[in-house]
Amino acid sequence: MDHPLTDLLIAAALLSPVMAVLWWRQLQTADATSVDVAWAAAIGVIGLGIAASGTGSTSQRGLAALLAGAWSGRLTWHLLIDRVLAGHGEDGRYRHLRAHWGERAGRGFFWVYQAQAAFAVVFALPFALLAHHGAAELSAIQWSGTALAAAGATLTTVADRQLRRHRRDPAAAGRTCRRGTWSWCRHPNYLGEWLTWCGFALAASPAPTGMVAWSVPALLFVLIHRVSGIPFTEQQALRSRGDDYRRYQQEVPAFFPWPRPRPDA
């Protein structure tokens, strides 16, 4: 395999039937939460596979493997522990879709699983570009991208831990988390994830056609702000925490941290 696009097309052909099998399994369990784990793991597997078979230099393929493996390993483990094994039942997004679709849920979820397969292939793009980059040494831009990705991953990890501690505190029941990073913006975990992918795109930029990698954080930004990220999360928060969350919305910016005047100022 000598071209990133070829690798990604092969990955798509292999991943689609895997997701079909997982879709069939959720027909038996009526719980689609595991598709998120499969998505995160698939990106790592694709990235590591392309890093192993790519035509780029050892340093570039090594960077692709490091970034893909570290990101996928962290998120896959977090989703597995926090959503699948925690015993909370099906994720709220999928419960909502199941209720909305009713008898058409089986067919609807088939396309959800196939969409996740397509997104996994698209999100593996920066790693594929890196794995076919021939430069023997990592450039300053690539080191900067790696540092940005590490900073974003750290922010996401810290935010997840702060939220987990908040949820375990009996005194915080029914109240919105305002601890640490959650006082900076309402979705520091999403911000950290987006910054991580900006770092990946920056690291892939020196590769031939590497600027195409920026399509991934651009797509992620749209998904977070317009699809299943902030809109759904905030709808759920308003239903469960009502006025407390409305005050939080007035006091704290949604995504990018910046000073915001209080409503009574």
Domain C-terminal end among 69, 104, 135: 135
3-state secondary structure string across 89-127:
CCCHHHHHHHHHHHHHHHHHHHHHHHHHHHHHHHHCHHH
Is 170 among the domain residues? yes
Same domain, 100 and 176: no
Residue 265 lies in a domain: no
pTM, two decimal places: 0.91
Both 154 and 192 in one domain: the answer is yes
Range of the domain at 77: 1-135
User: Could you tell me if 172 and 254 lie in one domain?
Assistant: yes
How many distinct structural domains can be found in the chain?
Answer: 2
Which of 135, 161, 179 is the endpoint of a domain?
135
Per-residue pLDDT of the chain (265 residues; tens, 9 = 90+): 568 889 999 999 999 999 999 999 999 999 998 899 999 999 999 999 999 999 999 999 999 999 999 999 999 998 998 888 877 788 888 888 899 999 999 999 999 999 999 999 999 999 999 999 999 999 999 999 999 999 999 999 999 999 989 988 888 888 999 989 999 999 999 999 999 999 999 999 999 999 999 999 999 999 999 988 899 899 989 988 999 999 999 999 999 998 665 544 4
Quickly tell me which residue has 């989703």 as its tokens: 79
**Same structural domain, 169 and 116:** no
pLDDT at 215 (0 to 100): 97
In a domain, residue 99? The reply is: yes
94-151 tens-digit pLDDT: 888 899 999 999 999 999 999 999 999 999 999 999 999 999 999 999 999 999 999 9
Same structural domain for residues 23 and 128? yes
What does the pLDDT read at residue 265? 42
Q: Is the dihedral of CA 114, 201, 227, 77 positive or negative?
A: positive
Name residues whose C-beta falls within 8 Å of residue 122's C-beta, 6 or more positions apart in sequence.
Answer: 215, 216, 219
The reply to whether 93 and 185 lie within a common domain is no
pLDDT score recorded for residue 87? 74
Q: Examine the fold and report which residue of 119, 135, 151 is the final residue of a domain before the chain moves on.
A: 135
Confirm whether 240 is domain-assigned.
Answer: yes
Structure tokens at 168: 């375990």
Q: Based on the domain organization, do 123 and 161 belong to the same domain?
A: no
Helix then strand count (H, E) for the chain reads: 10, 0
Same domain membership, residue 87 and residue 174:
no
Task: Tell whether 3 and 99 lie within a shared domain.
Answer: yes
Residue 181, burial from CB neighbour count under 10 angstroms (0-12, 13-18, 19+): buried
- What is residue 91's predicted lDDT score, i.e. its pLDDT? 83
